[in-house]
Amino acid sequence: MILKPREKIHVIHRRIFEKDLHRHFVGTVDWYETGVARVTGYVYTVDGAKFEFVRRPDIRTRLISVVSGDLLINILPDSVDIDKVVYHQEAKAVRVTDGSGWHLDLSEFAWR
Which among 1, 20, 22, 19 has a CA at the least distance from the CA of 11?
A: 22
Instruction: Say how many domains are in the chain.
Output: 1
Q: What pLDDT digit, counting tens, does each position of 1-21 carry?
A: 789 999 999 998 877 777 766
- The answer as to whether 23 is a domain residue is yes
- The answer as to whether 110 is a domain residue is no
- The answer as to whether 111 is a domain residue is no
- The answer as to whether 54 is a domain residue is yes
- The answer as to whether 40 is a domain residue is yes
User: What local confidence, expressed as pLDDT, does residue 61 receive?
Assistant: 97
For 100, the domain range is 8-105
φ, ψ of residue 109 in degrees (nearest 5): -105, 105
- The answer as to whether 77 is a domain residue is yes
Q: What pLDDT digit, counting tens, does each position of 77-103 carry?
A: 999 999 999 988 877 778 899 999 899
- The answer as to whether 87 is a domain residue is yes
Q: Which residues lie below 8 Å from residue 71, measured CB to CB, with a gap of 6+?
A: 11, 12, 13, 14, 64, 65
- More confidently predicted of 61 and 68: 61
